[in-house]
Amino acid sequence: MSDILALAYPWTKSIHIMAVISWMAALFYLPRLLVHHTERVGLAGETHELFAMMEYKLSKVIMRPAMIATWIFGLCLVFTPGIVDWSMVWPWTKAAGVIAMTGFHEWLSARVKGFAAGQNSLTGRQYRMMNEVPTVLMILIVLSVVVKF
């Protein structure tokens, strides 16, 4: 099995990077949709239905598959011999960042379900603040992998 992972390494890494880019794009965009849904649309009417559909499709058709692909190909990289030295700090900080990013993803998914049900308890400002979470986590993850601190 490790021979297959080693041979597939360039493909695995390429697909992992593409999945991460897709996942991050959705994680950056969805909170912005929620800001506008909160501040400009409200929880009823035709525009609400449009926003709810856009949020749902972004969450289920783009964001979730991208997260799953990120995890699958990331784990393949982890199990490729010689790629990860678990005695260093960086794999642990990256893992913590990816787990936190997944938690943020699930939090957003819950917000999308709430909007679809006509429920929202957060303000546009709170969504704007939450929009910074994936940026902070991305910085942690990229620095962990590239700088290997």
Question: How many Å apart are CA 59 and CA 8, to the nearest integer?
Answer: 29
Q: Residues 6 or more apart from 19 whose CB is under 8 A from it?
A: 66, 67, 69, 70, 73
pTM of the model as a whole: 0.94
pLDDT of residue 25: 98
Instruction: Per-residue pLDDT tens, the chain, 149 aa: give them.
Output: 778 999 999 999 999 999 999 999 999 999 999 999 999 999 999 999 999 999 999 999 999 999 999 999 999 999 999 999 999 999 999 999 999 999 999 999 999 999 999 999 999 999 999 999 999 999 999 999 999 98
pLDDT of residue 140: 98
79 located within any domain: no
pLDDT for 2:
72
Q: Which domain covers residue 28, as residue numbers?
A: 2-74+87-147
Total domains in the chain come to: 1
In a domain, 127, yes or no: yes
Q: Please report whether residue 36 resides in a domain.
A: yes
Decide if 133 is inside a domain: yes
Residues 6+ away with beta carbon under 8 Å from 7:
none
Whether the CB-CB separation of 21 and 62 falls below 8 Å is answered with no
Q: Is 81 inside any structural domain?
A: no
Structure token pair of residue 95 = 């893992």
Distance from C-alpha of 99 to C-alpha of 83, rounded to nearest angstrom: 19
What single string gives the DSSP state of each residue in 73-100?
HHHHHHTSTTT--TTSSHHHHHHHHHHH
